[in-house]
Amino acid sequence: MRIDLVSLFPEMFASVLGSSILKRAAEPVADPAAPDDPSRIRPPVCSYHLHNPRDYADNKHAKVDQSPYGGGAGMVLQCQPIYDCVAAAEAVEPQIQATRVVMTPKGRPLTQKLAEELAGKPRLIIIAGHYEGFDQRVIDELGPVEVSLGDYVLTGGELPAMVLVDAIVRLIPNAIGKSDSAHHDSFSPGSDRLLDHPHYTRPPQWRGRAVPDVLISGDHKKIEAWRREQSLAMTRERRPDLLVKQNPLAPSHGDARTPLAVPVILREALPVDHDAIDALLKATFETPAEAALVQRLREQGDAPIEILAEVDGQVVGGIVFSPVTLDDGDGRFRALGLAPIAVLPEFQKRGIGKALVRYGLKQCEDARLTGVFVLGEPGYYGPLGFEKASGHGFTNTFGADDAFGVKLFKPVEGVKGLVRFAPAFEGL
């Protein structure tokens, strides 16, 4: 990646770009396992280029700002030196398509998702403002991505530009030693966009504080589950907004209920949630059959995806996805079945159930499944993207073709067969 930085104070960038990972990313790096092998030298993954708009001022004093029309405090950066500086920067290696970025408090908040988006670009031209900002006409002409660090104002855009560069460069492949570490950071895809779990290292005891036993147990499944639980707990405590996928508490058409003024948190269920989900199922359904079904699915390892809805710490809804098999002859159809779905009676008719289904379907799609099957009311599941499964040539062991639906995530031709739900469903 080529990174061009437009700033009235380019000298501010020297120490940041010349240190740590940002410096290493712009240099060739030898493979530690074979430091003398030139064929195993990692070339630079990015380069930095500084440009000063003062060099393009059209006056002998290199003045680039003027007082604003209409009066007011402060000075405004003029169009001509900014535009000409950006144009000159782009004229160098013009074959590399550039994405223009302006640092401004009025911009799009910088998030990990935005950093990931920009890290995929071949070239960035990051423009740091100063004083009262830019003449709006140069912004309109350049059409940049406008980025803000947050709801506060600094003396200039140089520090925000450095932060943006740091957030982006560490995401470029091979910029850091272990690329997986960035993937699992807070707000990143590997952490489901949640806060990272706590980390520990040697010694096992320090000032009376011990490393959690699970981390030195050697049981990697338990360690993974512990880290997941810690991540969710910390996010729930410190940043519950990161858990809010949707707020489906507005009443449906014709419902006189008053919408609640609290968010609904949709998240993956953990083993510690099982008792609360069981209580939910027993409170939602007239018989204990659904709770017993979910219990059997868990015992047989057939509940790979459980999603729950929380309101103010209370589990108010949940759904389960379980494996299905298809007698299609070649096993190329990877699918899950959706059942059961439960929402506490006092929280029904607020869209929570459909929000749970949509969230669960997104997880299934991200897992590269071919589709999801359901036995349920077509009028309910149709708006969620389910079609009549028999129309695609599928049948089921329950003989309930009218209520048998499928949600396909990818086009599938010529696949027909008998769909068998998990063994726990037998005898229902």
Q: Which residue among 90, 116, 132, 328 is the active-site one?
A: 132
Residue 315's alpha-carbon distances to 264, 266, 347, in angstroms, are 10, 10, 11
Residue 132 annotated as catalytic: yes
User: How many other CB atoms are found less than 10 A from the CB of residue 99?
Assistant: 15
Strands 47-51 and 2-6: parallel
**Catalytic entry in 68, 105, 189, 378:** 105
Pairwise CA distance, residues 261 & 52, whole Å: 50
Other beta carbons within 10 angstroms of residue 63's beta carbon come to: 13
Q: Is 144 a catalytic residue?
A: no
Q: Which of 100, 170, 227, 350 is catalytic?
A: 170
**Which tokens hold the place of 141?**
């002409």
Q: Output the CA torsion 84→122→163→236 (10° steps).
A: 140
Active site amino acids: 105, 132, 170, 185
